[in-house]
Each structure stands twice: as C-alpha cells, then as structure tokens.
Structure 1
Amino acid sequence: MFDSPLPIDSALPEIKQALSACNNAVLIAAPGAGKTTRVPLALLEESWLEGLKIVMLEPRRLAARSSAAFMARELGEQVGETVGYRVKMDTKAGPRTRIEVVTEGVLTRMLQADPALDGVGLVIFDEFHERSLQADLGLALILQSQALLRDDLKLLVMSATLEAEPVAELLGQAPIIRSEGRSYPVETFYRPKSASTELVEAVAQTVGDALRAHDGDVLVFLPGVGEIRAVEASLRGKLPGTSIGVFPLHGSLTAEVQDAALTPLADGRRKVVLATSVAETSLTVEGVTVVIDSGLMRVSRFSPRTGMSRLETVTVSAASADQRRGRAGRLQAGTCYRLWSLEQQSSLPVRNAPEIMEADLASMLLELSVWGVNDPRELIWLDAPPAPALQQARELLVQLGALEESGLKATEHGRKMTALGKHPRIAHMLLRSVELGLENLACDIAILLGERDILRYTSSQAPTADLRARVETLRGYGSYTAEVGTRKRLAEEARRLRRELGEGKRGGNLRDADELDECGLLLAFAYPDRIGRQRDNGKYLLSGGRGAAFGPGQALAREPWIVVADVDDAGADSRIRLAAPVSLERLTSCIRDGITEESHIYWDGESQSVRGRERKKLGALLLEEKPLGRPPTDKVLEALMDGIRIEGMDMLPWTKAARQFQQRVAFARRHDETWPDMSNEALLSSLEVWLAGYAEGMKSRSDLQKLILKDILESLLSWDRLRLLDDHAPTHWGVPSGSRIPIDYGDLDAPFVAVRLQELFGLAETPRIAGGRVPITLHLLSPAQRPVQVTRDLASFWNHTYFEVRKDLKGRYPKHYWPDNPLEAEATRRVKRPQS
C-alpha cells in the first residue's frame, strides 16, 4: 500500500491486533516513526471499521492540515476525498471522507452535537504528551461515551514521549505498543548566551555560524511571534542576497505562508525557518539538518488570584528539548545548537505541566455542563482539574448567564454560547451584540482578542492600549498599520464569523465613529469583571475588585470609565495592555443584570451609632450612594450587635453590681462547669441570644446606656440557680461588727474582702464560700483603711502576727481600741472600746 517504508510499519500488525481484541490501545512511537500519517491509513480497511470513519485529533491546525495533505497524497487523492480535515475557520471534507483530522475544539463540537459519535469507529489522539486542556477534556468525554453509549467505539492514544502506563491504566489496562523511530545521529552543541546578550542577537549570530559550518536548512525554535519578527528583521540585513530564504512558521499565519515554510526551496537555495513550538511535533520541515533551540516557549497560565489568564515565557521541558533536537535528524545526520549550558540542561523539568492544571477552565466547565455533567468529578481524568480554578470558572459562567444561579446546570443562553465554539466571554459578547445590532463590531473584536497584537508602530508612534485603534487598522484605516497578510487573514476570519453569527445589520468596514465608541460596551459584555473606574494617576479599580493602571503616556488614562481586555497581572495594580473607554450611561442601560442595589446598614465608629446607606454597585464599583431613610429594624439591631463586637464589651453600661454578678457566676463555674459561661468572650459571641431582645429600637452607644445590665444577666439564670448562687458566691459577708462587706471576685482563685481589723475581733476562723471549699482572702485594714496584712488563715494571724501588728497600730492610732486578746474582745466600728 505504501511506496516508502517507515519505522512504524513493523508495529502495524500489533496495533491492528490490539484494536481487534480491545477497544482501547496506547501507541508510543519515537519522533519520525511515521505514526501520524501511517497508522490511520493502515487501519482504514479493518473489518471492525467497515462503514465507519476515523477521527484523529491533532493539537495544532498546521499539523492537522499538513498530515491530512500527506495522507491524501499517499492515496493519490486531493484533500477532502478519503482524507479530510476540520480546523478552526477551515474545513475540507466531503461525503466520501473516512479519515477526518480535526483540532481539539472541533472534536468537542462533534461530541456536543452527537455524544455517541454515530458513524465514527475509531478516535485517535495524536501527540497526547502535549496534554492540552481540550485533549484531556475530549478523552474524558469519549471514555464516558464508551461507557454509556458506544461500547463498540475504539480509542487509540499516540505519543512520542508520554508515560504510557498511567494512560493505559486510565483506558482500562489497555495494551501498550512501542515503536522505535528512524532517527539519524544529531550532534549537540551548548552555546549559552551571556547575560548581556539579547536573545535576538544570540539567535541571529548562531544562525549565521550554523549556515557557514553546515549544509542543509535551519529550523529555529523561538518562544513567540514577537521574537520571530525580531530575528527575521535581524537576519534579512545579514544574510547574503537571495540565496537564503527566511520563513516564519506559527499558528496565526495563513495556510499558504505555512506551506511555504514547510516546502524546500528550488534551485538548491537554503532556508531558515523561524518557528514557535508548533513545529515541535507531527511536522517534518523538509530539508532541515540544523536545529537552533532558544530553550523557551510561551504558555497561557491562569491565575485563580485574579481570575485572569496571561501569557508567560517559560523554559522548555527536557522532553520538548529532545523533540526539538530530533527535528534535525529526521532525514539525515544533523546538528542541534542549544542556547543554554550543559549544567542548565540537567535542571530542566522532565516534562511540561498538563494545561488542565494551569489553564482557565471556563470553557471546559461550560462544555461539561452542556454535555450534562454538573460535577467534573463524575468523569475519569488523567489529572483532575484543580478546585480553585473550577470555582473561578463557575462564578464567571454564572455572571455571564451561562449557568443557573446554582452554578450547576447550563442555561439556554449557555447552550447557545457553546455552539459558537468560542471562549464563554467572547461567545457572550457576540450573542449580546446581536440584540444591539453590533454584530460587525463584535466579530472584529472577537477576532482581534483571539490573536496577537496586529499593530505595527513607526518610529514616531508611541504604543497604544486602545482597542479602537486595532479595529480601525483591521478595517483598513486609522493612523496605525499592520502586516498586510495578517490583516487580510483576520479580516477574512471576521467575515466568516459574521456568517456563523448571522450577517450584521450595519454592513461592514464602516468608518463609523459612533460604532467604534461601542467597543467599550462590547468588552463589558465579555469582561464584566474588568470594568474600571478611574481613581487617580491613570489607576483604576476594576469591578472584580482588582486594581489596574496604564503605563505612561496613554491617552485612555484620562477616561473616567474603561473596560480592560488584557493586563499583565503583576503587582497590586496590573499594567493595562488593552482597553476601551465606555460611558456610564451605556453601562447602566445595557448591563442591568450586573448592577445591584443594596442597603448598607453598618456600625459607624466615628459617630458611635448605626448608619444606613443605599448603594448602587457594579461589582466592586460604587455607582451611587445616599442615606437610607428608614432602615429595617432587624438590620439596625444586627449592625448594633456588630458595633458591640467591634468596640468591645466596655461599650455596655457595666455597673459594679453587674460586673460583680458576672464574676460571681465565673467563680461558681470555676468549681462547677454546669454554670453558664458569662465571660466577655462568651457574651460577645452570643449577643443575639441574651442582649438583642433588650436592645430593640436602639441604634447608638448612648441608647445602650439605658440598659440595666445586671438585671439582664440575672435573667439568664433560673430562680433556683440565683438562690444557689447567693449560697455559693454571696455578694457580701457579714462581719462580727455588724457591717456587710462586699466580696470581690476579681481573682477567681482568691475572692477577698477588705475590712478593718477591729471589725473582726472575736472571729476565730476564716470564713469560707463555695460550700466551704474556698476560704475568703482577708485584706486587713487600719482605721485609715490602709492595708496592714493579707491572710487566708485568720487563726494563725491572731496567734502569731497580731501582736506585731498591734504594736505598730497602737503607736499610730493610740485612741483606738487594741485589746491584748482579740478573740475575747468585742468587734467595733468606732474609735473607742464599746461600753457594756
């Protein structure tokens, strides 16, 4: 069947046997083995596939188109006959198509339209080691479809660097087939750039050296489009004449430009291909014998802290570096230059983290809800999605109206959003734009937000964060320019999106200033959490509660209201990269669901009273505030209780009697835990139980002073308990002189009375409380109420200490009565001895 042999050929019989015997299988094939293009064709005539199609999932559009074209050529056909593809904004497939190569979002759409995948016999996941979010989601959905709807559906997971065993276990202990690739030796050189050397300079220098030292074409891996453009500009000024061509290769280029990068040049000319990680797998760039690897890649990472995604430049994993290196040895012996050191090589992560662990999960969660899965834990995952990111996604989808308030079931609006195949933010904006007749503008914005910045600046132009400038440029006017090819491609994608959404009402490409002024409103539909109100110095508070700020020299920084589409998520005030102005009037008229009205009743510490305000808010943004006329009584009482907690228990009118009662109960509880806890902490935590009923109608500290706190605390005890408290913790002690002295319970371990010594004459023993368990501590005072002795053993005091004290007191208070025998003397409150 095949003209030229490939290493995968020897494994084909084992693959066929595995899929004949089992529903699922795992294929591990080294780079260059030919698994992407040969396996689908080899399985096409299997008996279990009769009348059914193969759907093969490719992570990238470029690889999907390229592999479909290669397989069609193997069959001597055009793409769209036996072999076709379906990618974003581009489909070539017909009624005879039996192998469909699709990108990940397309597979999800197919599953949503037909969960059983009728007419499909085999689904292949190619390059599964990349662990994209959509691949993980697709695998989870197909496994559920197998379990519930299609026990005959077969599944093959293919990869070059994947750990096969966990995947095989996930697929029900599926058989693992391994195939060694055809790889030629690749000599590797480590050329770490110095700290002072820019990446572009280091790459350009290495390209020049490689072209002089080696034959063949050069493939350069760079982190992103910006670096590709910079290196391309640098090389065009250094490479000789037209003998060497320089070609960019990344996902946002047109198919024609991508094909030009993949095809060898005629007449023996050499080429340099500047690529992102799109060229890492599933592609053979013909003629390449030299790879130059920057060691960097750009990934999207989601921040649960802010609810925003951002692009980050990160170091590649060891597995990715090996994949890149292998590109040089696909066709013959080659060379690889790594722009890092051998020591750095040993510290590279083994493999990249699965996207599901770091990505925005809003699209995935909505897909699952529409599928009928309310809880992602119902599905089988290789790595379960993290809970914080899921919660952020759920909150956003509720805010967009895609999920019901419970956050579980998809709404009809959410189902319509899913059908558009866009991120929920963008889908919501597109659907809302239809209501306002702004479809044309919304489609332009949707395309622009899905791409890298298209603006190109002249030396006299400062960068702008204004989205309107991008729309003008896309439509072919304005003061900024874009690459012609990029602008044409994006304009065509916008037209296709309009056709999907329904033709706009305004006609397209209009120089309509009024329409451009609606950019901010449309962004507000997509980013209701990023509506910003000006604070000062170009700083804004966003409706989601975050701060954001423009860099210097941005005209938008003067706008009172903006909507932010992109920030860098760094620091307390994230730097705004893309935004548009919006009027408060348009916001309040078109985003009514996002505006809340609330009565804010709160304790005001300055006035020491409860205050009420009526507030109209847009998320965290205060739109309007005014005094609340007649706040509800229950809310006032609640705020008053909050005020007591804020100010502390000293805010209440504590009399000596109230405080002593609190301490007496605490003393009783010290010796019997059945007594209630009346500590300040316990009382503060239960204000609504014991105090609220007495404070109804009050709203200030001064009002609370009317309370009789002792009576309120006493009401917490039954009549029997109050009597028992008087027995065990009495308020006073009657001394021999006839006085009633208050007992101080401030020290629960040693309650005391302060009494003049003369009033205790005749008392032999220390009095006791708590049923005789605790002696009262006696603070013995002089006639002038000054302390002379502290004791808990009165008998010992009379026998040993009294005579020394008597000597001192008699000298200082000679007119007072100081008997020789205090136990036989009569207690007195007067100066002289009582007359009989």
Structure 2
Amino acid sequence: MQPLPIDPILPDLCAALRARPSVVLEAPPGAGKTTRVPRALLDAGFAERGEILVLEPRRLAARLSARRVAEELGERVGETVGYTMRFEEASSPATRVRFVTEGVLTRRLLVDRELRGVSAVVLDEFHERHLAGDVALALLRRLQRGARPDLRLVVMSATLDAGPIAAFLGGPEAQPAPAAEAGRGHDATAAGASVAPTLRAEGRMFDVAIEYLPSAGVSASTHAAGDRRARAHWGDRTLESLVASSVRQLIEEGLDGDVLVFLPGSAEIRRAMDACSAIAKSENLLLLPLHGSLSAAEQDRAVRPADRRKIILSTNVAETSVTIDGVVAVVDSGLARVAAHAPWSGLPTLRVAPIARASAAQRAGRAGRTRPGRCLRLYTRGDLASRPEHEAPEIRRLDLAETVLELCAAGVTDLEGFGWLEAPPAAGLAAAEALLVRLGALDEGRRVTPTGRRMLRFPAHPRQARMIVEAERRGVADDGCTLAALVAERDLGAPPGAREPHGRRSDARHSSDLLAALQAFEEADRARFAADRLRWLGVDPARALTVERTRKQLSRLADHRSAAPPETVEAREIAQRIAILSGYPDRVGRLRRPTSATGRTGREVVLAAGGTAALSEASVIDDVDLVVAVDIEERSEGRSARTVVRAASAIEADWLLDLFTDAIRDTTEATWNGAAERAEVVRRLSYDALVLDEARPAAGAGGPLAEAAARELAAQARAKGWRAFVKGDALEGWLLRVAFVRAHCPDAALPDVDEDAVLATLEALCDGRRSFAELRDADLSSAVQASLSPAKARALAELAPESIVLPGGRRARLEYAAGAPPSLASRLQDFFGMAEGPRVAGGRVPVVLHLCAPNQRPVQVTTDLSGFWARHYPAIAKELRRRYPKHAWPDDPAHAAPPSRAPLRKA
C-alpha cells in the first residue's frame, strides 16, 4: 500500500469512534480518506459485529473505491469488500465493507429501521450536500438516539466547515472524549459534551499551475440562453472550440500525461469529442467520455490506465472519486448542469450554472494527485472570485416527494420537526405532500396508504412507481416497468450525426411520445441491442442498455400476476396510457395550436394547474385533445424562462373521472352575454382549472338553474343601475316626493324608499327572468310605487302632489329636488286671479314660482306671490306691455281673470 496523507490520523479516528458514537473527519482532496478510512475501521475490528457501510454520492466513486480497497487487500471486489448500487452489485456473504450509493442506504433504513447487521456507517463527500445524504444523516442520528446507540457514524468532508455537522451529531448523552483521543490532528475543543469530535488531516497535493482566460470567458448565462444546441460562447467561439484549443495548447507545450476536461453534460461532451477528434487522431490520443449515463464498462475504460495518452471528457462525476492515475492536466469549463425544482409550479428546472469555488478547487486538484500538474480554467480570475464558496444544498432546491414518502414510511409524521441538519423549505415540503396525496400514496394524515406501500417497493421516483402500480392493476406490469425506465432516461435518441435517415419511423404512434419510445425500445430488444442496428433505428445504444438495466430491476420487483393482461392491442395501449396518466395527475392539459402575430402556428399545452407550455417540435403527439405532460421543465433563456413539454401522452376525460374523482368538479353557474344582455346558464365539468365539458341547459321555470340565471341577471342589473330599466323620470320624481314628505311631514310615516330599496325591488324582479329586455318590460316604476299602501299613497298625493291646477285651468307640474322646496314654472299670466302662491306639505312649504314672460323666460322667481304683485309687478308689467302689446297686462293681477289658453297668433 502506497502511503497516503490520511494514514497518520487513522489510529486517532478509530480511538475517537470507540469512545463516541460519531466522528467528523475533515480531509482535503487527495488525502486518501475514501479508501483508507473503511480499511482502517475493518482492521480495527469495527466489522466484527456487522458490516461497515460506506455511502458514496456517485456510482462511479462507489465502484472505483470498492475496487481499490479490495486490490489493497489482495482480493477481488465482492469478497471482503463489495459494493451495492442500483442495477449493480458485487458482494458475497463474506463482505464486511460495502460501498453503497445514496438510494440504497435510504431504502435499507426503510426496510430495516434498526439497520441490523450494520456496525458502522461512513458518509463520504458530505460537503456535496446531496439530498439523500442529508436524509441519511438525520435518520442515522435518529437511530443512534433510539434503538441503536451502538451504531458508529463517520462523516467525511473535503471542503465543508465541520462545525455545524459536529454540533448536529453531538447531544446531551455524549461524554467528553478521553485525553488519549487528542492525538495528531484532533480538535480537542470539539470533544465536549455538546459536539462530536472533529479530526483534521492534511492533504497531499502537488503544485497545480492554474491559468485563466484573460477576459470574459464561458458564461453560464450565454451558454443556456437562446441557442437550441445549448452552446457557450466566448466572443465568436464555442465551448467545444475552446476545449479543443486548450487541449492542443497542452499537447504542443509538451504534456506527457492524460487530460481531464470538465463539461456541463453529455451533449457538450459529444460536441467537444467532435472538436478534439482531429488532434486526437494526429497525436494518437484516446478520446473517452465519462458521465453517469454510461455503462460500468464504459466508465471503467475512461478511468483505467491505457496504452496511450487519454483525453477524458467528463461531467462533474469525476470531481470526487479515487485518483485517476495518469491525469496531469485539467481543462475546466467552470460550468455544471444544476437540477432544481419549483415547488409552486411543481415543475423541474434544469439550467447550466457556474460552479462554486469549492468545486473549482476540487476540479483543479485532480491534476495534482500524483505529480505537479496544470489547470486551464475557461473563465477569468474575477469570475471565480464572484462565485459562492459552496453550491446550495440539494435539500433547498430539489423535489422532496420521494424523501417525504420514505420518511412517512419510516414513521416520521412531523416532517417540520424532523431532525434535519438543515430544514427544507416549507413550500417544498407542502408541494411534495400535496403530490403524494394526489398520487394516492399518502392520506390527509400523512399516513402511507396501501398504494403508497406498493410504490415503495420500487427504487424510483413516486411518479414512476405509481405508474408501475397502476400498470400492475391493469395487467401490463412489464410495460409499466419499461415506461418508468424510459421516463428516467428521458430520451432514446441517438446523438446528433449518429441517426441514420431511416431512424425516424413513419408509423410511430401519434398518441404518446412514451409509447413511441416504447415501440423503439421493443425493436431494440428484438435486435438484441446490436449497436449498428440501434443506430439505424435512431436509438442510442448506451441509453437503450441503461433502460434495459432499469427495466429488469423494476420488473423483478413488480407483481405480474395481479391482473389478467389485456386481450387486444388497443386494450393494451389504453392500459399503458392510463398507467402513464396515474403518475402525472397534476400535469394534465389541453393541446392547442395558437397562431402568432407572424402567422406561424405552434403547439402548446394549456395546463390544468395553470399556465401554458410549448410542446416540443420532436413530439409525435398529433390530433388529440387532452394530454398529460410527462417530461416537462422550465428552461432559462437569457433573462426569460419558458416551459417546454418534451414528452406527452394523450388521455381521455373518462380516465380522469375513474382515477381522480376527487379532483373533478361539477359546477353550474350563470355567465353574462354582454352582447345579448342576457344571463346564460353554463354547466361545467372541470379537472382543476381545465374544463372537460361544457353545456348550456335551459334554465326552466324554477330550480337551481333558474336561480343561478336570476342571480347573474341581478348582479349585472345592479351594476348597470336601476335608471336603465325605467322610462322617463317618473320614478325619480316619485322618490323625490317620498323623500320630501318624509322630511317635512314625519307624521305621515311614509317608509324610506331610497336607492337601495329600488335596487332590492329590481333584484326581486329578476326572479324568473334572464335578460335586460325582460326587466325593462317588468315596469320597475310600478313595482316600487306599489311598496306604499293605498292610504300612504293617498297621503303622498295630498302632501306632495305631482301637479297643481292654476286659475286659468292649466295643470302645472311640480318639480321636486333633493334638499330644496318644490318648484313650478309657468307664464306669469297663468297666475292672474291668484292672490297667494300655492303651498304643499299640508300648507307648510310654499312652492317656488318661476314666473315667465310669453317667451317662457322667467322674469321673477319667488315664493311670495302677493308681495310680487304689490312691489315688483307694476314695473315688470310696464316693460312687458311694451314688448308684448297684444297680451293683457291688468293693473290688478291678483283679481284679474286669467287669459284664455287658446294659442296666440304671432305678431
């Protein structure tokens, strides 16, 4: 065994772990903690009472680390040292040290809450703060405080501050560490009763010469914005061209080892391989990809020694793992694909983002593991300085549905009060719980349902697990497993340039992207996954094999006997599509083809949960009404974002009624037709905000439909105002008369008929009617006046008459106004023979007289007619005689006879 920097501190680690249940170990990259700590615990006897589990965040690291420790023991992997991960296992009854991935540990804690047969657990690379790692830490700490105080726990981190973790792992039951523990690298101040002991080891890192771009380089925002192929630009250069230039620079400057290139994802890796192919060919270099979608053999080929120099193009899976021998140079794009989840929309998000400073240090360190190296960073020094120290923990940004279901299955009902190292956002927990209730996995009391128990059998997201459970019930369990595997892989398509002209099938189904993918996968299966044949079919061989591995594992766990298989092809397809729907009840939508301002049409999905999403141009969906959006994400494009449906499946409304009855609302409401001024009754069958069916039944003469129409008519009529439903101003005058009598003759005891009373009468008239036209014919004025009894109506007529008969026989109308006495306007001659002016309100209020000349213009306004005759009439009469000589202007108008009402001839 080659000495490593971690070795001197291992005896202190074992001593601390014997005295205390938990220990935190800080060791920088390259110290050797991943392989030497498990071996030290094995040699110290910690495996005598059970296995030592080592949790690795990534499959590649788990497999390589187990292999390295086994080689150092002189054994093959799977004997004393093994590994277990999804789809792959190398172990035996003799295995004492088992490297596992995150999901495996969580599931084991669910199956066996006491973790029997395990004596110690090592959480490696905890600084990455994966969601499963946080959950495992909390469950293990809970277990230590309960049924397993003997369980030992080591938390290892390369770059994270160990203080909060040590405090979290401490507790009132912890005792101060013995003095013997305070050995080399031991933090004695952390050995108190309130924190777990912390050990620090020095790393071994050869010098790494770091070079930056001189000016603005690869930017995550430009990388993700607008470019359909998601290319990053530096000036007019693409990311892949920068990578090729950097590799060429290293080769021309005499590099004599391997180069590790960090890129955001597999698409960028493919393009960079194309860009580097010329220099690889001329310099006899191996170009090898390395990412999570590759098979174990392909990943091993990238990291194992080769007979010539290698250019390894990798995602961040190579940031943290055992040393890759031969790597002496790193090219770092400074970018990574970051998955997140929007709890408010329920949609996953995926964006290319700048890595944190800690990740940049990890990447650069890969070049200095075995000898001095170089790191070319495709970004500026200032760019790096502006980045955060660490990535945001996944618990803040990922979908929590799977975690919540697992915790509820483990008996955790108080999710908010669960012992988190860092509590997740309340909105994320609420969204996860709501989804699980909708999937039928939890009831309202956070109890796991029988459906939820069946879902937990499958190592998959609850959506995919629900699909499989529904497929079991409908006799298509194997199809459900394949569909779930296809959803996990997202795309079977071959890389650009690898698809043959015959790859796009003309007979692909138009009802479901998933069924089209299933059809392609079944053809790949019949071709026995022969690479050339798959490429001809337009299927990526590596992805097809990944789907096959997933399908096999899920199929082993499925119940294939719970229901008889469908008898026809059509029935099988319906069962498949219903199974797809069962996993995505919150993603239902209606397909439509809107036309843009340019006249171009596209396809978009109007989602039942609200909002719209663009349907991918690659989707086979066509000529359907309702769909379920299976693969949907929010994409950042510059400063804006849009939602894209990558894969959808057609559904029928009846399936929603069968599966999700609680989400169906049958409502009857009245709507207003403004053009026709009419209330129309609409009966809607809705799923969330999506209308499945709409009808306009006749309201009839009674019942709820007529009542709904009357309520809508009344609301619209009130908004319009009652004056729109009466002719003339008769009702207005009547109301003013009532108000006048109430003010001046309270002894009459007239009721208060105000605006609100009129509106109430108007609303009452709406009963049995549906339109404004019908309301206008209903005679609102008569209905309001009918509110007075006959006696009160007589009193109103006497105290506030509508008109008065003048001496000449003319009936003159009285005008009433709010807050003023009534008035009367007529020719002055009509008042001849009237000694006193008229009064109303039982003689209490004189009428204001507007005395007009023959031209109908007032010459005097007065309430004192007798005073007018005596004081003002002589002078006014003199002027009127001059202007109107043919009219009579007597000297004693109070006793003169009024003139005839016959029309006068014009002079």
**1:195-220 CA deviation, whole Å, 9 max, x = no partner?**
21121222122122213322221111
Q: What is the distance in 1 between the residues matched to 2:665 and 2:398?
A: 34
Q: What is the distance in 1 between the residues matched to 2:276 and 2:96?
A: 44
* Residue 224 (structure 1) aligned to one of 255, 265, 270: 265
Q: What is the distance in 2 between the residues matched to 1:24 and 1:622?
A: 56
- 1:579 to partner: Cα distance: 3.5
* Residue 448 (structure 2) aligned to one of 410, 430, 433: 410
Consecutive unaligned residues of structure 1, counting only runs of 5 or more, are: 668-675, 717-721, 768-775, 819-824
- 1:500 to partner: Cα distance: 1.6
What is residue 460 of structure 2 aligned with on the other side?
422
- 1:257 to partner: Cα distance: 2.0
Q: What is the distance in 2 between the residues matched to 1:659 and 1:129?
A: 80
What is residue 7 of structure 1 aligned with on the other side?
6
Kindly indicate whether residue 703 of structure 2 is the aligned counterpart of residue 633 of structure 1. Answer: yes
Q: What is the distance in 2 between the residues matched to 1:323 and 1:222?
A: 14
> TM-score by structure 2 length?
0.72
Residues 341, 399 of structure 2: 8 Å contact kept: yes
Q: Name the aligned partner's letter for residue 470 of structure 2.
A: R
Distance 1:10 1:518, change over 3 A: same
| Secondary structure at 1:377 match in 2 | coil
Q: What is the distance in 2 between the residues matched to 1:714 and 1:151?
A: 88
Residues 651, 701 of structure 1: 8 Å contact kept: no
- 1:290 to partner: Cα distance: 0.4
Kindly indicate whether residue 364 of structure 2 is the aligned counterpart of residue 325 of structure 1. Answer: yes
What is residue 220 of structure 2 aligned with on the other side?
none
What is residue 173 of structure 2 aligned with on the other side?
none
Q: What is the distance in 2 between the residues matched to 1:715 and 1:85?
A: 92
The correspondence of residues 308-707 of structure 1 with structure 2, limited to 5 A, is 308-404=347-443, 406=444, 408-451=446-489, 453-456=491-494, 457-458=498-499, 460=501, 466-468=516-518, 470-476=520-526, 480-503=537-560, 520-536=577-593, 537-544=601-608, 545-550=610-615, 556-559=621-624, 562-569=627-634, 574-580=643-649, 584=652, 587=655, 591=659, 593=661, 596=664, 598-605=666-673, 606-617=675-686, 620-628=689-697, 633-634=703-704, 636-638=706-708, 640-645=710-715, 648-650=718-720, 652=722, 697-701=768-772
| Secondary structure at 1:378 match in 2 | coil
Kindly indicate whether residue 330 of structure 2 is the aligned counterpart of residue 291 of structure 1. Answer: yes
Q: What is the distance in 1 between the residues matched to 2:433 and 2:288?
A: 42
What is residue 124 of structure 1 aligned with on the other side?
122
> TM-score by structure 1 length?
0.77
- 1:562 to partner: Cα distance: 4.7
Kindly indicate whether residue 253 of structure 2 is the aligned counterpart of residue 196 of structure 1. Answer: no
Moved more, 82-91 or 92-101: 92-101
| Secondary structure at 1:174 match in 2 | coil
Q: What is the distance in 2 between the residues matched to 1:808 and 1:333?
A: 126
- 1:20 to partner: Cα distance: 2.1
| Secondary structure at 2:432 match in 1 | helix
- 1:540 to partner: Cα distance: 4.2
Consecutive unaligned residues of structure 2, counting only runs of 5 or more, are: 171-193, 218-232, 506-512, 528-533, 594-600, 741-751, 807-811, 841-845, 901-907
Q: What is the distance in 2 between the residues matched to 1:785 and 1:4?
A: 124
**1:720-765 CA deviation, whole Å, 9 max, x = no partner?**
xx9xxx9xxx999999x9x9977645xxxx8786677999x999xx
Q: Name the aligned partner's letter for residue 200 of structure 1.
A: E
Q: What is the distance in 2 between the residues matched to 1:790 and 1:97?
A: 120
**1:548-602 CA deviation, whole Å, 9 max, x = no partner?**
44455865334555544324535898444334556x4995797574884624322
Distance 1:434 1:183, change over 3 A: same
**1:97-144 CA deviation, whole Å, 9 max, x = no partner?**
443322221222122223333444443332222222222333333444
**1:57-105 CA deviation, whole Å, 9 max, x = no partner?**
2211111222222233333444344433221122334444443322221
Residues 47, 97 of structure 2: 8 Å contact kept: no
Distance 1:290 1:483, change over 3 A: same
Larger Rg: 2
The correspondence of residues 12-31 of structure 1 with structure 2, limited to 5 A, is 13=12, 16-17=15-16, 20-21=19-20, 23-31=21-29
Identity of aligned residues (%): 33
Distance 1:642 1:573, change over 3 A: farther
**1:629-654 CA deviation, whole Å, 9 max, x = no partner?**
66883565356435544564335577
What is residue 311 of structure 2 aligned with on the other side?
272
Kindly indicate whether residue 63 of structure 2 is the aligned counterpart of residue 65 of structure 1. Answer: yes
**1:120-176 CA deviation, whole Å, 9 max, x = no partner?**
444333222222222233333344444554455444332222233343444455344
Residues 543, 618 of structure 1: 8 Å contact kept: no
| Number of equivalent positions | 788
CA RMSD of aligned residues (A): 5.5
Distance 1:436 1:287, change over 3 A: same
Residues 26, 201 of structure 2: 8 Å contact kept: yes
Q: What is the distance in 2 between the residues matched to 1:381 and 1:732?
A: 83
The correspondence of residues 728-739 of structure 1 with structure 2, limited to 5 A, is none
Residues 22, 153 of structure 2: 8 Å contact kept: yes
- 1:609 to partner: Cα distance: 4.0
Q: Name the aligned partner's letter for residue 182 of structure 1.
A: R
Q: What is the distance in 1 between the residues matched to 2:856 and 2:15?
A: 106
**1:383-420 CA deviation, whole Å, 9 max, x = no partner?**
4333444444334333322233x373332101211221
Distance 1:741 1:153, change over 3 A: farther
Q: What is the distance in 1 between the residues matched to 2:735 and 2:23?
A: 75
Distance 1:13 1:660, change over 3 A: farther
